[in-house]
Structure 1
């Protein structure tokens, strides 16, 4: 079951979001928990509650939606959960980069767009259930595709950089690529496969991951990488090539 948290201090917004989702074709796939306080949601997250998607108002009580995003990404080190921000003020969009949201929706909510965003989050979550089996010290080891940040091939040695640490395996990069879900991984170089869940910034010739790691995008892959990342989330490079910024048609509605 796909776990969703909805947090807004306006009860009518919470009821609207829950009603739209529970009355949709997605209802059989989701479980929703609602919160009227950012502080209450933060307390539950610190206590171990985990969600696949958080739908957050930005202007909450003493713990606002952006603070919850930083709690999730920085303190809890959760890069897999998706965040969908909602707000009545579009100027907040530019402050959201570091929390790597799935999208940003303006109030009053476009219900069709809300459903599209939740459906996208579900599609991104499902490939993470895929398992990857590799040979480490001549022994097979299995891990989830979602836990792999990126894979690097160098001098006939393949290293998996995972959320738990590094694994050096005997497999070839091409054989690992065939096991990985296309919805999560993008080839950026002959030597690199990257999980888009952990990409925090895209520039012309490199990607930056959520932990600060920078990886080169080779010239032959740049067009394909940019196209792939634009499909993954509604962000694009700024006019000076200085990283993600929201698309105007997404934040201007």
Structure 2
């Protein structure tokens, strides 16, 4: 599996060392890895806004005007799957890592064996973790975890993807999205796809989802959804 890995550290020597260790890890494990270094949080953020598809981030905590924790919070608002590892000379920030679901803290000077072990964990999580749906919206590219999606519905030439964190409206066909979503989602009629894991109650005319949303079902939708739910039990 190929990995895109970013190293964000304002100390050139530290960044170069991290890159050499990460590149060595990839070679030893037989992975293909694109490893890119950034000298500040702002430089990475500028790149990420146009190119958000990264797998692993190694972030120095203490940097210039934007620190690594602040950068991680920004990334986490849009991407819940990327693996974040903090690199720091201090242990004072460890509690803040829980807010951004950091995989690990590594304290400088970095031990090669420890970094290898952390990268192994990150690779395992990425390999076994959930897929993300790429949504090109007016605000740019959003990477949405599949499990976060509750339902999708059609409005004219647009589809709205309703997630636990908000809604995203895109210009794509519902059929294309149906193929990408795969098992666990059921199309009900021409204009609705429902995540079966989100279903809480089905009546003859409506389906209620977790979070309280209640959707109107087309003719025959009740029977279709009931069969799909029973088949998963």
- TM class by shorter chain equals 0.5 to 0.7
SS of alignment partner, residue 155 of structure 1: strand
- Asked whether the 8 Å contact 1:102–1:121 carries over to 2, the reply is yes
Does residue 14 (structure 1) correspond to residue 15 (structure 2)? The answer is: yes
Structure 2 Cα separation of the partners of residues 18 and 158 of structure 1: 49
For the structure 1 residues 120 and 137, does the alpha-carbon distance in structure 2 shift closer, same or farther, using more than 3 Å as the test?
A: same
Structure 2 Cα separation of the partners of residues 83 and 159 of structure 1: 32
Q: How many residues align?
A: 164
The gaps in structure 1 that reach 5 residues or longer are 177-253
Does residue 155 (structure 1) correspond to residue 201 (structure 2)? The answer is: yes
Structure 2 Cα separation of the partners of residues 12 and 142 of structure 1: 51
The gaps in structure 2 that reach 5 residues or longer are 133-180, 218-223
Structure 2 Cα separation of the partners of residues 107 and 23 of structure 1: 18
For the structure 1 residues 68 and 126, does the alpha-carbon distance in structure 2 shift closer, same or farther, using more than 3 Å as the test?
A: same
Structure 1 Cα separation of the partners of residues 114 and 230 of structure 2: 37
* 1:142 shift after superposition: 9.4
* 1:58 shift after superposition: 0.2
* 1:159 shift after superposition: 4.9
For the structure 1 residues 15 and 72, does the alpha-carbon distance in structure 2 shift closer, same or farther, using more than 3 Å as the test?
A: same
Structure 1 Cα separation of the partners of residues 35 and 193 of structure 2: 31
15-24 or 121-130: bigger deviation: 121-130
- Write the mapping of 1:81-92 to structure 2, written as runs, cut at 5 A: 81-92=82-93
For the structure 1 residues 174 and 118, does the alpha-carbon distance in structure 2 shift closer, same or farther, using more than 3 Å as the test?
A: farther
With CA pairs under 8 Å and 6+ residues apart, which has the higher RCO, 1 or 2? Answer: 1
TM-score by length of 1: 0.55
* 1:102 shift after superposition: 1.0
Runs of 4+ with >4 A deviation: 156-161
Residue 104 of structure 1 is matched in structure 2 by: 105
From the CA coordinates, give the structure whose radius of gyration is larger. 2
